[in-house]
Structure 1
Amino acid sequence: MNKTKLIGPILLTLGMTSTALAQNGFYAGASIGQATIDGCDGLTKCDDEDTGWKVFGGWEFNRNIAIEAAWVDFGEVSGSIGESKVSAEVDGWVLAGKGMLPLTEQFSVFAKLGMIMWDVEGSGAASGIDDDGTDLVYGLGAQYMFTDRFGVVGEWEWYDIDNDIDLFSIGALIKF
């Protein structure tokens, strides 16, 4: 069989598959921003801000309701207890419902409510500390779609981990 005869049907199938996924509302993206971890109680020379980032994916049921999963890395909080340096890294998995309000064809605002399964690992004088749990997360944001498939998203999220964590981020969003 002539291989060039297969190219047309393969491209047609790929195009139909990506169109079907877009009609089904699947999306993915990544964001980066500023994380603030309220973890300075009892520490001196404390640095409770770091670069935070996340990768996420979701499914829009319709223009107003979606479900989203993400892996988020909040970075590290560090400081000193006496002469000993301590630090801890925080990350976790998020599952949240997302309510969206389209204001125009391209621009919408949204709110999130969900849960995070988090993990904290200590180092320095806090070496050996490994804690985890499940807590509440909520957030507010906006997204602007440049095309039907590509947009930007900006948001603030609050995580009710032992010490509250705020994440302000901006990122890219791709709809499939």
Structure 2
Amino acid sequence: MKKTLIAAVALLSVSGSVIAAEGAYVGGNIGYATHDIKASGNSYDDNDTAWKLNAGYRFTDLLGVEVFYQDAGDASYKVDNDDVKSELSNYGAALTGTFDLTSDVYLTLKAGVAKWKADYKVTGGVSGTDKGTDLYLGLTAGYALNDELNVVANIDRIEGEEDAEITTYVYGLGVQYNF
């Protein structure tokens, strides 16, 4: 939890350097993570609550960048007949493309990289951490309540592979504040 709070403060600190610039935004959402896990020749599905903080900058009406931190919850599965529970989190950066559908409704496509981490515990007391860097894809649908405040719905996809291959989809609802 302490590392999570440090990451959240760091993300908000980074966003502070772009706050004065028009086109900058910060946001957050909470939602639901699904985990598709393949380990030891078996497939497992698990889900948990997830949340995300993000900050970004739109260079033009179309192109921008975004950084994020996401807690994707826990996933449970088996490896070689041992029960495993992993706490999943990731952070990363993406290029964004925003398409205005109306004056108030928009879609943002995101593609970038995510550094993921899975802190795991195996039945019998063995524990450790798997880490990696993989492709991040996202889609945001937003509705502008006014010039500063948007309501957003997100879908994010991150895949990680070490001892187990875990594909995570996070579905979230939240807000975005535009500067």
When normalised by structure 2's length, the TM-score is: 0.78
Following TM superposition, by how much is the alpha carbon of 1:80 offset from its aligned partner in structure 2, in angstroms? 5.4
Match of 1:73 in 2: 71
Which runs of no fewer than 5 residues in structure 1 stay unpaired? 1-19
Q: In 2, distance between residues paired with 1:26 and 1:102? A: 17
- Aligned residue among 113, 119, 122 for 1:121: 119
Following TM superposition, by how much is the alpha carbon of 1:43 offset from its aligned partner in structure 2, in angstroms? 9.8
Please tell me whether the aligned partners of residues 43 and 80 of structure 1 are also in contact (alpha carbons under 8 angstroms). no
Match of 2:141 in 1: 142
Match of 2:108 in 1: 110
CA deviations on 1:121-175 (whole Å, 9 max, x unpaired) are 1124273221101000112221111010001111211112222111111111001
Aligned CA-pair RMSD: 2.5
Q: Quick one: structure 1 residues 133 and 82, their matched pair in 2 at CA, closer, same or farther if it must change by over 3 Å?
A: closer
CA deviations on 1:51-92 (whole Å, 9 max, x unpaired) are 111000001112111100000011001245698542001101
Q: Quick one: structure 1 residues 85 and 161, their matched pair in 2 at CA, closer, same or farther if it must change by over 3 Å?
A: closer
CA deviations on 1:71-118 (whole Å, 9 max, x unpaired) are 001100124569854200110112001101011221111211000011
Q: In 2, distance between residues paired with 1:151 and 1:124? A: 42
Following TM superposition, by how much is the alpha carbon of 1:47 offset from its aligned partner in structure 2, in angstroms? 5.9
Q: Give runs of aligned pairs for residues 17-166 of structure 1, distance below 5 A.
A: 21=19, 24-39=22-37, 41-42=39-40, 48-79=46-77, 85-125=83-123, 127-162=126-161, 163-166=166-169
Q: In 2, distance between residues paired with 1:62 and 1:98? A: 10
Matched, 1:167 2:170: yes
Which runs of no fewer than 5 residues in structure 2 stay unpaired? 1-17
Q: In 2, distance between residues paired with 1:113 and 1:135? A: 11
Please tell me whether the aligned partners of residues 154 and 169 of structure 1 are also in contact (alpha carbons under 8 angstroms). yes
Instruction: Indicate the percent of aligned positions where both proteins have the same amino acid.
Output: 28
Q: In 1, distance between residues paired with 2:74 and 2:151? A: 26
Please tell me whether the aligned partners of residues 51 and 71 of structure 2 are also in contact (alpha carbons under 8 angstroms). yes
Task: Give the structure with the larger strand fraction.
Answer: 2
Q: Which amino acid aligns with 1:141?
A: T
Match of 1:10 in 2: none
